[in-house]
Structure 1
Amino acid sequence: MSRKLFHYGAVASLIALILLTLLWELWLAPLRPGGSLMALKAVVLLAPLMGILKERVYTYQWSSMFILAFFMEGVMRTWADHGLSHWLAAGEIALTTLFFVCVLGFVRSFRQAA
């Protein structure tokens, strides 16, 4: 597969995860009515965004480990939450998995080209 395809997949899944996090914690199913401070985790997701957009291999490498914390949160909340929050957590799992696979594919294709 093409390195560009992995790049676009990583960018799209990271931006979708940021949007999902904001919608989830502020409007759709916040922990507290009116929104919660859990929405600040979207700010943490901004940390790798510029490096991913600029195709910096180092950012791809560390973000592959960084995203696992969000995967774990999704697994725990899928198991513990009910209703809409359960399904949003399942979406978080799907997006983090897609991001992880795209990051690994990008780094692998970069190393094969070098």
Structure 2
Amino acid sequence: MNPKIFVRVSSVALLSLIVLCVLWEGWLAPLRPGGSWMILKALPLLPAVFGILRGKRYTSQWVSMLSLLYFTEGVLRAADPGLMGVFAILEAALAVVLFLSTMFHARYSAPSRQR
């Protein structure tokens, strides 16, 4: 397997998750009208952007674990009414894609797998 495929998928998933978190909690369906402090949940993802875009294995390793927090939040908030539930399901789906792509990138870019 070519690890560059997983780098592209994880890059798209990470950037999409950041955009979703900001739009969701800032304008589209915040917990409180006018926006909420939950918009800050996108901050832990920001340090990973350049590492993921450059295909750094170490970044993929820790982002795979971080994505599980976003999956958990998405699953817990999926039963919320209206757009909040839809965005929660979308967040959980993006977190799963991010987890799998970073996990496979870390696996297939391991020094022991290089030829």
* TM-score class, shorter: over 0.9
What's the CA shift for 1:2?
2.1
| Residue 99 (1) aligns with residue 72 (2) | no
Cross-structure match for 2:39: 39
2:58–2:106 CA contact under 8 A, matched in 1: no
After TM superposition, the score normalised by the length of structure 2 is 0.93
Q: Distance in 2 between matches of 1:28 and 1:16?
A: 15
| Runs (5+) with no aligned partner, structure 2 | none
Aligned residue pairs total 113
Pairing 1:15-94 to 2, within 5 Å after superposition: 15-79=15-79, 81-94=80-93
What's the CA shift for 1:47?
2.0
| Runs (5+) with no aligned partner, structure 1 | none
Q: Deviations over 1:55-97 (max 9, x none)?
A: 1111111111111111100010003x11110000000011000
Q: Distance in 2 between matches of 1:2 and 1:50?
A: 20
Q: Deviations over 1:10-47 (max 9, x none)?
A: 00000000000011001110001010010011122102
Letter in 1 for 2:92: I
What's the CA shift for 1:107?
1.1
Q: What's the % identity of the aligned pairs?
A: 44
Cross-structure match for 1:113: 114
After TM superposition, the score normalised by the length of structure 1 is 0.93
After the TM superposition, list the runs of 4 or more consecutive aligned residues in structure 1 that deviate by more than 2 angstroms.
none
- Look up the SS of the partner of 1:39 in the other structure: helix
